[in-house]
Structures are given as structure tokens and as C-alpha cells.
Amino acid sequence: MAKVCELTGKGPVSGNRVSHANNKTKRRFLPNLQKKRIYLPEQDAWVEIKLSTSVLRTIDKKGLDAVLKDAAAKGLIVY
């Protein structure tokens, strides 16, 4: 799936583009996705996944194991 974070499921949302004359047309807000190579020590392998930058900041803060366990508890991934 394109434009979707593989860890959180965060994807595009819709909104309005508002002109100076207050005319409204539909637009999409895309998530800030980055491709990253992450090492999984349990599988002894490198995995390339698309992550949002907010998840990358959370991984830096909490650690990869805590983020993966939280995502598994929410049913987003199988860990």
C-alpha cells in the first residue's frame, strides 16, 4: 500500500484548500513517510520499511522493542 506507515497504519487525510476569497476545494494531507532499514535482532535480519517521522522519533525515545510491542498490542502488526 502506498503512502501508509507500515507500523502505525497512518495514512492520508482529507481537508480543504482555502483561498483568500474563502473558496474551499478538497485536498489531501499526506503523512511524512521515510524508508528506513531497521535491524531486528530476534530475526537477525535487516528490514526496509516505510515509517512516519513521528514513529522514528518514538523509536529514538522508547526503543524499537517497546514500539513493536505497542503496535502488536493494538493489533497493527504480528510480533
pLDDT at residue 32 is higher than 70: yes
Q: What residue numbers bound the domain in which 57 lies?
A: 1-11+37-79
Look at the block and give the residue holding cell 476545494: 25
pLDDT given at position 77: 78
Domain CATH code at residue 79: 2.30.170.40
pLDDT given at position 21: 98
CB atoms within 10 A of CB 10: 17
Q: How many domains does the chain have?
A: 1
pLDDT at residue 72 is higher than 90: no
Share the mean pLDDT of the chain. Answer: 92
Q: Would you say residue 26 lies in a domain?
A: no
